[in-house]
Amino acid sequence: MPETEVKASKPSADDVYDIAAVCRLTGLTAPGLRMWEKRHQAVNPGRTKGGHRQYSRREVQRLTLLKALSDRGHGIRTLVGLPIVELERRLEECSKVSSSDASVKGWKENDKVRRCRIAVIGEHLVTTVNIGSAFVDDEATITEFKTLEDAESCDTGFEADLVFVEISALFDEEVNRVRRIISRFRALRAILVYAYAQERTLEKISDDSGLISAIRAPVSLSELREACETDIALAGRSASAIIDEAPKPKDHKGGIRKRKYSNSQIAKASNISSAVDCECPNHLAALLKALNGFEEYSAQCENRNTADAKIHAYLHMMTAHARATIEDALEVLVEFEDIDIGDPSSS
């Protein structure tokens, strides 16, 4: 937490909150909050003599802002070092975007606006909550499944942008089933509505890169609609923005350099005895083999949607750049040691 936000005096009892109160006030789960503290140092709460966490009013304010921004697609790693005034500014900007542009009606894809496709899984969500009634005037396309089994056995080729799933008892296996449904439906996100769950399962969901959100039941129709708006309206755009803003190689000109060395040349280098310490040709050859493999994988990987295609293209480009750098290093090394593995250009 920035130094400007550290309090000089000890907070009064009225300004101190335990972890249960903080979770109620911020919407965070206890496992998610502990993970933010341990992994990202989002806040540094005090402790009672018994070892229980105590949060100041300022820390609750910070956590509320972090949760709100995280729900809107911001990576927690990019937020934890910012002062509260900057977090408030960013949330205000998000609100402007949400009110003017982000809605469940859909988004631009290939210069065409298409409606959001929502899959609802769970008899209570389908019959009692009736999510479909929240979306009028053809704002979204709703497909309903009464059970997970129904969704898992649906026709191949069905696609959805967002998946709502009702699960009474949430364990790792149910989360894995939802992940498989996300992949099968080529979905951007899933929202789980659960009654009971193990803490370690919620911790895994919290660390799932925003693919799955978990909301404890009971939830109202308005809460589900709000969750839908914040998740789906920004999901595709935020994913594209992350890739657009990601670092590129300094010498990147938009192309992929052709491989210098064939698989047989790399295999030859991996078996050469080297005069240089640490068997450098062998290690460079091993790196090249691994990079070549991942480069091919990222180029051919099956894509769920346009955002997936974009991230795999980025991974392909960055891996090819790393591969080209290692190729240059291997070329210098074999020349230095006068090793013959064949002409690089012959590959």
pLDDT single digits (tens) 265-320: 888 888 876 555 567 888 888 999 999 899 888 887 755 555 567 778 888 888 98
pLDDT over 70 at 108, yes or no: no
Q: Determine the 3-state secondary structure of 135 from DSSP.
A: coil
> Which has more pLDDT, 159 or 6?
159
- pLDDT at site 103: 45
Q: Which DSSP category does 269 fall into?
A: H
> Using an 8 Å Cβ cutoff, are 136 and 92 in contact?
no
Between the alpha carbon of residue 151 and those of residues 40, 147, 169, 220, 300, the distances in Å are: 36, 7, 18, 23, 27
Q: What angle do CA 234, 94, 129 make, to 5 degrees?
A: 55
pLDDT over 60 at 166, yes or no: yes
> Which has more pLDDT, 147 or 236?
147
Whole-number Å distance between alpha carbons of 32 and 207: 8
Please count the CA atoms within 13 angstroms of the CA of 62 that sit on its side-chain side. Answer: 24
pLDDT single digits (tens) 228-268: 665 555 454 445 555 666 677 766 666 778 888 888 888 88
Mean pLDDT of the chain: 76
- pLDDT at site 55: 93
For the ranges 172-181, 282-291, 336-345, which has the lowest average pLDDT? 336-345
Q: Determine the 3-state secondary structure of 61 from DSSP.
A: helix
**Count H helices, E strands: the chain?**
12, 10
- pLDDT at site 306: 58
List the strands of the sheet with 189-197, edge to edge.
140-145, 116-121, 162-170, 189-197, 212-216
CB atoms within 10 A of CB 16: 19
- pLDDT at site 45: 92
Question: What's the longest Cα–Cα distance across the chain?
Answer: 76
Whole-number Å distance between alpha carbons of 70 and 1: 17
For the ranges 113-122, 148-157, 185-194, 309-318, which has the lowest average pLDDT? 113-122
Q: Which residue has the tokens 């790196």?
A: 287
Antiparallel, parallel or unpaired: β 107-109 and 112-114 = antiparallel
Q: Which residue has the tokens 């967002």?
A: 162
Mean pLDDT of 89-112: 56
Whole-number Å distance between alpha carbons of 22 and 107: 35
What sections of the chain are H helices per DSSP? 19-26, 30-40, 57-71, 84-100, 123, 148-152, 172-185, 199-206, 221-245, 263-270, 280-300, 306-336
- pLDDT at site 340: 80
pLDDT single digits (tens) 193-219: 888 888 788 777 765 556 787 778 777
- For 187, counting Cβ atoms within 10 Å of its Cβ (0-12 exposed, 13-18 middle, 19+ buried), the class is buried
pLDDT over 70 at 128, yes or no: no
> Using an 8 Å Cβ cutoff, are 192 and 165 in contact?
yes
Whole-number Å distance between alpha carbons of 191 and 231: 9
